[in-house]
Amino acid sequence: MDFWQNKRIWVVGASSGIGEGLIGWLVSSKARVLISARRDEKLREIQTRFSKDSVRLLKIDVEDHQSLEQKGEEAWSIFGGFDVVFLNAGMSVRDLVSDTQVMVEKRIMNINFWGPVILTKTLLKLKQPNDALHLVVTSSLSGKYGVPKLAAYAASKHALHGYFDSLRAETAQTNLKIHLVIPGFVKTAITVAGFRGDGTPNGKMQNALEKGMDPEVCAKYILVGVAKGKEEFVVGGSERFTVILNRLFPGWNRALIRSNPLQRLAKIKRFFGFQ
């Protein structure tokens, strides 16, 4: 993984799951990594696994928009800039639209969409014209199509595509590179930590994620995709084919989603011998 050697990296959303999975690979590739999230006790525990020179820590809450410019500047000063920034922090809400409060939907947009956008604007101010910078934005299958009980989450991830595709087009002739990563089902606590429609913690892991990809394996595929210069790519099990299905036959994908998609997906997987 030569691409990562000596790179200065910021992982926002590094305290668990996919973000945490990235750290070990990056350090073993001799990158220096700044890790950020809200739970600093979790970040400190992660930091103890590595040398203090290779992994630094900065607590951040991407929902606290007032603080983000200053946090971005503080982060930038730690290694004197970044080569790659992973905008990976995210929260889910899992409930019917009719049972979800607008306040909770706004929180999801604030964390998943406005957090990465505000941090990006700060980074672009700090970046000098000669600095090369890769932004790696974590989207989702729900960033490509909507599914029941994930309306606000899907909206926030769709918004990331619209925003970062536009920014990529605006900066095509520059050394800013934007990668949109679409993980499939990854075995993390995203739905445990996430909200119900009333804003209380969901507290349970979604079945599909329970059987999903190991977050470290997912992290490795992400690093390979970025190193190869992929602008948008899907990482996951056979569920990743729904993105192709949606692109080629959107009507079929919509029909699939309406008719209990996970049960159907399990049937399709069995048909093709995936499980």
Ligand X SMILES: NC(=O)c1ccc[n+]([C@@H]2O[C@H](COP(=O)([O-])OP(=O)(O)OC[C@H]3O[C@@H](n4cnc5c(N)ncnc54)[C@H](OP(=O)(O)O)[C@@H]3O)[C@@H](O)[C@H]2O)c1
188: contact with ligand X by CB under 6 A: yes
Cα dist from 129 to 4, 96, 165, 272, whole Å: 21, 46, 20, 49
d(CA 116, CA 90): 10
189: contact with ligand X by CB under 6 A: yes
d(CA 206, CA 222): 22
CA angle 245, 250, 252 (to 5 degrees): 75
Judged by CB under 6 A, the chain residues 164 through 183 that form the site for ligand X are: 183
Q: Cα 1 vs. chain centroid, distance in angstroms? A: 21
Judged by CB under 6 A, the chain residues 206 through 265 that form the site for ligand X are: 209, 212, 215
Q: Quick check: 160 and 113 in contact, CB under 8 A?
A: yes
Judged by CB under 6 A, the chain residues 100 through 119 that form the site for ligand X are: 111
153 is catalytic: yes
How many residues make contact with ligand X (CB under 6 A)? Answer: 32
**Per the residue annotation, which of 145, 153, 163, 221 is the catalytic one?**
153
42: contact with ligand X by CB under 6 A: yes
Among 8, 9, 15, 154, contact with ligand X (rule: CB under 6 A): 15
If the CB atoms of residues 72 and 215 are measured against ligand X, the closer one turns out to be 215
| Phi and psi at residue 35, to the nearest 5° | -110, 135
13: contact with ligand X by CB under 6 A: yes
The helix or strand, by DSSP H or E, that contains position 42, with its residue range, turns out to be helix 40-47
Q: How far is the CB of 217 from ligand X (least distance, A)?
A: 12
Q: How far is the CB of 181 from ligand X (least distance, A)?
A: 8
d(CA 174, CA 177): 8
85: contact with ligand X by CB under 6 A: no
If the CB atoms of residues 128 and 200 are measured against ligand X, the closer one turns out to be 200
Judged by CB under 6 A, the chain residues 128 through 167 that form the site for ligand X are: 138, 140
Q: Is 46 exposed, middle or buried (0-12, 13-18, 19+ CB in 10 A)?
A: buried
If the CB atoms of residues 63 and 165 are measured against ligand X, the closer one turns out to be 63
Residue 216 tokens, joined: 């470290």
Q: Which residues are catalytic?
A: 153
Residues within the interface to ligand X (CB under 6 A) = 13-19, 37-39, 42, 60-63, 88-91, 111, 138, 140, 183, 185-186, 188-190, 193, 209, 212, 215
